[in-house]
Structure 1
Amino acid sequence: MKLIVAVHFEDAQATRARAAAVAFDAWDAAEATRTYLSRIAHVEPAVRGMLDLRELPCVMQLLREHKLEPELILIDGFVHLDADETPGLGQHIFHALGGSVPIVGVSKKRLPGLTAQFEVMREEETQPLLVTCAGIDIGAAKARLRAMHGRKRVPTLMKLVARLAKNKD
């Protein structure tokens, strides 16, 4: 089972959050095999001037709470912040899981240290997605992202997990 995870902060102070996960088996799956949701009652505040890692304990709680042992995790964000592999959220998740679960970070935002080698085009006339990863080859990660279901820039299941994390019901 592969997972896509997303975290949404519930309030303006970002002291509470919801972590969601979508499980899938095939890269071209149009629907999730299962979804998961965890409510995080307290999130530590971000530290100004430091990498924002508030999502890390949320993701770890989700995995523990639902006893999830995925073969791979996709996140909306960065594994590395540049081509020199400066650690981002995904690298911290990778290490928290003992380096045993590959992490693929997918972002719509561009960072100055990421060159064209990290870009994936899913639709011709749109901006590329940026892919960074740990525990899996960048070429394999990009090919799998291209294969994901959805005719738009962002794959269907990535949109679903974002909606689940934001949904208040």
Structure 2
Amino acid sequence: MTTITFVQGDITRQSADAIVNAANSSLLGGGGVDGAIHRRGGPAILADCRKLRASHYGRGLSTGKAVATTAGDLDARWVIHTVGPRFTREEDRSELLASCYRESLRVADELGARTVAFPAVSAGIYGWPMEDAARIAVETVRATDTAVEEVRFVLFDERAYEAFAAQLR
């Protein structure tokens, strides 16, 4: 049974087997969580991402998919990069967002990760409403068959923390 916990703080300061990165499809770093993970993790993460782009992911990583690299200088063994969907009122992309969590857990299982730290995927610059992002994230993790023992949602601010914590009430 997977334990779900919530922490308010900086995901780059977490100690976990795997830290999930809300990446962009280029895998080459960006803003928000992605930029913070690349900065704190150091050049080894970018080097691994460049190798992925030179091999299987020449066009980048598709939305809803996940792939792992080294964690560089982070207190983790791996970074699992997943590309969340941008929110739009014109099209329901909930299944793509749920896929980010399922695919990240699938990769974590392949790696043998037992603790995984997730950010609120798509709830930052990709504009997903926080309460809905929290609902999809928690429901998906609960419904996913995984060997991961602890899923830790690391929320940057109090508003995000409250939205996620409300899912267990």
TM range (shorter): 0.3 to 0.5
Higher strand share: 1
- Structure showing greater radius of gyration is 1
Structure 1 length-normalised TM: 0.38
